Amino acid sequence: MYALLFRLVLARFDPEFAHHAGMAVVRVLGAPPFSWIARPLTRPEPRDEVRALGLVFPSPFGIAAGFDKNAVGVRGLSALGFGHVEVGTITAIPQPGNPKPRLFRLIPDRAVVNRMGFNNAGAEAAEKRLWKLRRRRPAAVIGVNIGKSRVVAVEDATADYVASAVRLAPLADYLAINVSSPNTPGLRGLQAVETLAPLLRAVKAAAGATPLLVKIAPDLPDDEVAAIAELAVEEGLDGLIATNTTISREGLITDPAKVAAAGEGGLSGAPLKERSLAVLRIVRAAVPADFCVISVGGVETGAEVRERLDAGATLVQGYTAFLYRGPFWARQIRAGLHAR
């Protein structure tokens, strides 16, 4: 039913408009009485629980950063059955993001190109929303993903990340450092080990007892992936998220003219599956067994989530397939996991 609705109606709308419309529905589903109806249909079972980062996740499957940039849909996403919600990316300074249009569907590839540019209302606004969420906790674990403000020079990035961490870490179940988006100039350069080490150290000190993870790009060479994973362990981080979107356009079946028209930005969705899985295996081989590894990129079905778990993922996230699968995607994932 949803696939037909998407093809006949939703695919005709501008992708960013459709996302905002979908988020409005998600927010409604997070409020009574709608949450009372949705939750029994989507609630994970006790056997789905995962213990990681000193937390209990209701299920291994969560929604990746980028979907709920401003922590406004956490209750609704929890009601739809996601075991955790990673909000953001949030920057210390509010910013509008890149000029529109900045979100493009590649439907034949079940993919999306985005160059959103960390559009968000800033850490102070997120802090207020997270305080409200803490009063009546949703079932889902809440992660907070932080990034560099665009107006801040790369050489001043550490202080910028620390400013966000000081505000948001006390309200987060875990904190994720995003140094891997392709849509903020100079950001990916922070993944160089010599640059990343002092950044991780400073943010960890600011985060206090809140578990800290770092999110990396899929486009790094294998040896750099392993080096960052080893660095995360050495610096006392609690986990690593692999991976962000890719700048590659290899292997796409969408009309090349349409791909070219979409322009620069991060590609997410099914084309990322193979590389994301490969990076997961590299990371898992480089870190201790109890180190949390969250795998994200190209996941759409319960079988694919199971493949990530079998490959060593502690938790799995998705985002792009939500656009193609619809509001009961997390429920479909759970059914697929149990079908095994």
Query: Distance between CA 199 and CA 204 in Å, rounded?
Result: 8
In 3-state terms the chain splits into helix, strand, coil percentages (rounded to 5) of: 45, 20, 35
Please identify which residue in the block is written with the tokens 């770092």: 214
- Which positions are catalytic? 181
| Six-digit token string for 286 | 């480089």
Distance CA 243, CA 262 (A): 21
The vertex-34 CA angle with 29 and 39, nearest 5°, equals 80
> ∠ CA 283-284-287 to the nearest 5 degrees?
85
Of 273, 270, 277, which Cα lies nearest the Cα of 254?
270
For 296, residues 6+ apart whose C-beta sits below 8 A from its C-beta are 64, 241, 242, 243, 276, 316, 317, 318, 319
Q: In what order do the strands lie in the sheet with 111-114?
A: 103-106, 111-114, 266-269
With residue 242 as reference, give the H or E element that holds it.
Answer: strand 239-242
- Residue 77 burial by Cβ neighbours in a 10 Å radius (0-12, 13-18, 19+): buried
